[in-house]
Amino acid sequence: MRLYIGNLPYSVDDSSLTQTFAQYGEVANATVIMDRMTGRSKGFGFVEMPNDAEAEGAIKALDNSDMDGRNIKVNVARPREERAPRRPRY
């Protein structure tokens, strides 16, 4: 199950996100989304957990919980929407 994690503190990286969710079960992948221009976190990320029951437990335990002073949002990620190709800027 793929989870969306929002309102992440900018100090969180892939490793700390993995550690947080590993308390609730196996984590296949954890990624904090980074801004291409600045290299800083965009404040959200995704965690993939192969066991749906463990993922549900993580959602219940971590949604609206405090992480470094911010209340994070955790829910099932929606499928990625197809977007039209970006037009070049001139």
Q: Which residue has the tokens 């290299």?
A: 39
Instruction: Look at residue 80 in the predicted model and tell me its pLDDT.
Output: 78
Domain-by-domain residue ranges, the chain? 2-76
What is the C-alpha separation between 47 and 49, in angstroms, rounded? 6
Q: Are strands 2-6 and 73-76 parallel, antiparallel or unpaired?
A: antiparallel
pLDDT per residue rounded down to tens, the chain (90 residues): 999 999 999 999 999 999 999 999 999 999 999 999 999 999 999 999 999 999 999 999 999 999 999 999 999 999 877 777 777 776
Instruction: Look at residue 81 in the predicted model and tell me its pLDDT.
Output: 79
Q: Which residue has the tokens 């291409």?
A: 36
pTM assigned to the model: 0.86
Instruction: Look at residue 50 in the predicted model and tell me its pLDDT.
Output: 97
Q: Which residue has the tokens 């079960």?
A: 25
CATH fold for domain 2-76: Alpha-Beta Plaits (3.30.70)
